[in-house]
Structure 1
Amino acid sequence: MVNHFNEFANLCFERFGNRVKYWITFNNPWAHARVWHTYDSQWRAKQKGLVGISLSGDWGEPVDLSNQKDIEAAERYVQFYLGWFATPVFHGDYPQVMKDFIGRKSVQQGLGTSRLPTFSPQEKSYIKGTCDFLGIGHFTTRYITQKNYPSGRSTSSYFTDRDLAELVDPRWPDPGSEWLYSVPWGFRRLLNFVKTQYGNPMVYVTENGVSEKMLCTELCDDWRIQYYKDYINEMLKDPLTSHMEMVTEIVVPTVCTLSILLSAIFLMFLLRRRN
């Protein structure tokens, strides 16, 4: 499969590379690095293009920010989701938390080796850095809490390996699908995660949107307009936004209050002198 896909991609580079300068190998993968190296060695110098990959990733927020187990569970949620493919592409290996949890569960099931494949040193070197930009498909967020699953061969799966439970807030807007809730702030936090984890790569948002909420005979998608507006606003926030919010919400009111108090004290002083 890898060789066949590489041959197909190479033909695309040959026929269209003089016009197409941005290539996404896969939207939700599975066989990326070979094609990146083919472009890098045979076509990049002539065509001056970029090759990336597009990965899906929802954000996981701890249910209890004071509970270390919930914080770790939320980290696992994102690492098992986005990190499963992004971390090998950027760092050459699976996320450490995946290796730890799947390895331990495999031992508990009586298996001789981990169910998660192991990269050889040559494979790690070959995969690492094969991403000129990262495409992200993002739609929603979940609250995450720690939940232990028993380790049995018949019950083991991607979902039980994570030892966590996914929850939603009933106050989150429901645009029309049972799995998709509008949680714009989760998008911002996922983008910050990518920036921190993977060295601030170039990012393209390749998927985002909402499903139909109702059947209409005319235009009636106010919920979609609001979803896009909220998510785009989170994406466009300046890095100084949190600082500016602090200035607006804390510093300015405090300064105003102090100014009023000082003015009142000064006025009382003047009135006393006159009396």
Structure 2
Amino acid sequence: MKVILFLCLSCILTVGRAQDDDYVVNNKYFPDKFMFGCATASYQGAWDEDGKGQNIWDNLTHTLSRTAYRKIRTMETWPCYVKENWVLTTIGFSISWSGKYLPTGFPYKINEAGVQYYRNFIKELKDNGIEPLVTIFHWDTPQGLHEVGGWLSEFIVDYYAEYARIVFQLFGDDVKYWLTFNEPKQTCQQGYGSGEKAPFVQSHGLGEYICTHILLKAHAKAWHIYDDEFRPTQNGLVGITIDTPWFEPNTTSDEDLEASERQLQFEFGWYANPIFNGDYPEIMKTRIANRSALEGFQTSRLPEFTQEEIDFINGTFDYLGLNHYSTYMVSAMPEPEIGDPSWEKDTGIAVFQDPSWEGSASDWVKVTPWGMRKILKWVKETYNNPAIIITENGISDNGTLSEDLDDESFRSHYYKYYLSYLRDAMIEDGVNVFGYTVWSLMDNFEWTRGYTEKFGLYQVDFSSGNRTRTPKKSATYYSKVISTRCLVDTCEEE
């Protein structure tokens, strides 16, 4: 069975509206087998315990002035949440490539203390009836691998594949849901293109394409390793998580409708199309080849897959994860001038958010729940209705200890409406969604934003020695949703 994970909403609304005033929250029960959960990632935990090795984020946040936030890291005490008397059906987390059990990132040295840590954690989840949803790579490339080329070098495909094989060997008997990569766009486009995230390489219009080309091969190789060596005995599922906003046309003109589709292909299809449909989207291949020629390149800046590689990558999914938070407006614009290349110029779309939309502590997260249904429907229609689980969805506060515990009208409202449009997509559009995980379980270190933006259901007091956790009101609401499988006080069967 092919299964897919996604995170988005949608509804047929007047173009650009943040909320339909007449919209009624869905009052149909979620299916009994629908998976509700929470998520975080290994980097948001302790950074230097139990023999953990260094990754690119450890290195950069400690040595560069680029980020002002030192790592006053949270302690990795997941079990305290397992025992909060919730009825979670899944918890999403990642395994650190250089952390805990494989400190150098290379397979020659395995840290047994790290292996036991993950085994204990997975066992505790299973003992409490919680299904582990495990991401193999969440941005934290081992520092040693980065220093010899990282995701710009083909050699990393084999090292990543061997890392994945070891993960499957060690934990696969107890894990049924795997994700090879979380948000590869952030690794490649922001890590090796714009340089906004580690390793902060600025190679506009070139580095992100090379990185993606290599990463997709690594994903496919890991999937085939599982399919050939482990699926017959472990019976698990392997997917990939891709993130995208919804891109709403600014008008109903043909030009703006085309702009919306183009932006979706450059954001999401860039990664999904080779896996689900075979090869990069045609619009990407055409535009980048044309602009590359005009810029003086002898070949397209977008690398080409061989037919053998296309066949190897195509179909390497059992499910897909989508991370979805917000929506952008898009409109057609004149073709960008030829000059220094960039992914943004290759896309050639004007992208913006309506200033009237309700915001958050994160300038990129606006409350636009109707986008969830639209992106889910688009994915269904573009990729032949795969099975979907929402792997990240959430909204941030500014972490003020005395004020942000009372987030009922803020975060609870966000969850209610995004989940409602998700349920609409399931019922009205026939989208095959089987689960939803909130980002995030608790306040944590938000990459270059440090601790200025907090997404947690649980507030963490980083000034206290034991990092005191306090549930926000949204935790109570979400717990009730999980218990009742209902978004409102009274639900009815579909």
Displacement after TM superposition at 1:171 (Å): 2.4
> What is the CA distance between 1:240 and its match in structure 2?
5.6
What is the CA distance between 1:238 and its match in structure 2?
A: 5.2
| 1:1-275 → structure 2 map (5 Å cutoff) | 1-29=156-184, 30=215, 31-65=218-252, 67-154=253-340, 156-213=341-398, 215-218=400-403, 219-221=405-407, 222-237=409-424, 241=428
Over 3 Å counting, the alpha-carbon distance change for 1:49 and 1:70 in structure 2 is same
Counterpart Cα distance in 2 of 1:69 and 1:89? 28
Q: Does structure 1 conserve the Cα–Cα contact (< 8 Å) formed by 2:373 and 2:425?
A: no
- Cα distance, 1:9 vs. partner? 0.7
- Deviations 1:193-225 (Å, cap 9, x if unpaired)? 111111111111111101115624152213111
Shift of 1:172: 1.4
Q: Aligned with 1:51: secondary structure?
A: strand
Equivalent residues of 1:58, 1:139 under 8 A apart: yes
Whether contact under 8 Å (2:321, 2:388) holds in the other structure is: yes
Residue 131 of structure 1: how far off its partner (Å): 0.6
Listed as ranges, the gaps of 5+ residues in structure 1 are: 243-275
Larger C-alpha radius of gyration, 1 or 2? Answer: 1
Equivalent-residue separation in structure 2 for 1:217 and 1:234 (angstroms):
32
Structure 1 Cα separation of the partners of residues 355 and 399 of structure 2: 19
Q: Distance in 2 between matches of 1:11 and 1:240?
A: 40
**Other-structure match for 2:464:** none
Q: TM-score if structure 2 supplies the norm length? A: 0.47
Which residue type is aligned with residue 215 of structure 1? T
Report which stretch shifted further, 102-111 or 48-57. 102-111
Q: Tell whether the 8 Å contact from 1:108 to 1:151 is kept in structure 2 after alignment.
A: no
Structure 1 CA distance for aligned equivalents of residues 350 and 367 of structure 2: 19
Quote the Cα distance in structure 2 between the aligned partners of 1:55 and 1:150: 27
Give distance in 2, aligned partners of 1:223 and 1:55: 26
Aligned equivalents of 1:108 and 1:125: distance in 2?
31
Aligned residue-pair number: 240
Native 8 Å contact 1:172 1:181 kept in 2? yes
Distance 1:220 1:106 in 2: 52
Q: Deviations over 1:233-267 (max 9, x none)?
A: 0101155648xxxxxxxxxxxxxxxxxxxxxxxxx
Cα deviation per residue 1:145-203 (whole Å; 9 max; x = unaligned)? 0123434342x211111111112222211122221111111111000111111111111
SS, match of residue 402 in structure 2 = coil
Using CA pairs below 8 Å that are at least 6 residues apart, which structure has the higher relative contact order?
A: 2
Distance in 1 of aligned mates of 2:347 and 2:334: 9
SS at match of 1:193: helix
Which structure has the highest helix share of the two?
1
Structure 1 vs Structure 2: percent identity of aligned residues? 41
Q: C-alpha distance in 2, partners of 1:90/1:63?
A: 28
Give how far 1:107 is off: 1.6
- Counterparts of 2:236 and 2:331, CA distance in 1: 42
Deviation at 1:72, TM superposition (A): 0.6
Indicate if the aligned counterparts of 1:105 and 1:151 stay in contact, CA closer than 8 A.
no
Rounded to whole Å, the distance in 2 between the matches of 1:58 and 1:190 is 8
CA contact (8 A) 2:367 2:414 kept: yes
Q: Alignment partner of 1:18: what SS? A: coil
Q: Quick check: 2:245–2:328 contact (8 Å CA) kept in 1?
A: yes
Specify the SS of the correspondent of 1:20: coil
Aligned twin of 2:59: none
| Whole-Å separation in 1 of the counterparts to 2:339 and 2:302 | 14
Q: CA deviation at 1:91?
A: 1.2
Q: CA RMSD in A?
A: 1.5
Say if 2:377 and 2:425, in contact at 8 Å, map to a contact too.
no
SS in 1 for 2:400: coil
> Structure 2 CA distance, aligned partners of 1:153 and 1:111?
12
User: In structure 2, what residue type is equivalent to 1:202?
Assistant: A
Runs of 5+ unmatched residues, structure 2: 1-155, 185-214, 430-494
Q: Pick closer, same or farther for the CA change 1:57–1:238 going to 2, 3 Å.
A: closer
Q: In 2, Cα distance between the equivalents of 1:238 and 1:51? A: 24
| Preserved CA contact (<8 Å) 1:175 1:224 | no
Query: Counterpart of 1:200 in 2: which secondary structure?
Result: coil
Please name the residue that 1:267 is paired with. Answer: none
Please give the alpha-carbon distance, in whole angstroms, between the structure 2 residues aligned to 1:152 and 1:192.
Answer: 35
1:15 alignment partner AA:
L
Task: Return the TM-score normalized by structure 1.
Answer: 0.83
Deviations 1:41-98 (A, max 9, x none): 1111111111000011111111011x11111111111111111100111111001111
Query: Which residue of structure 2 aligns with residue 272 of structure 1?
Result: none
Task: Report the AA paired with residue 163 of structure 2.
Answer: F
The 1:54–1:239 alpha-carbon spacing in structure 2 relative to 1, beyond 3 Å, is closer
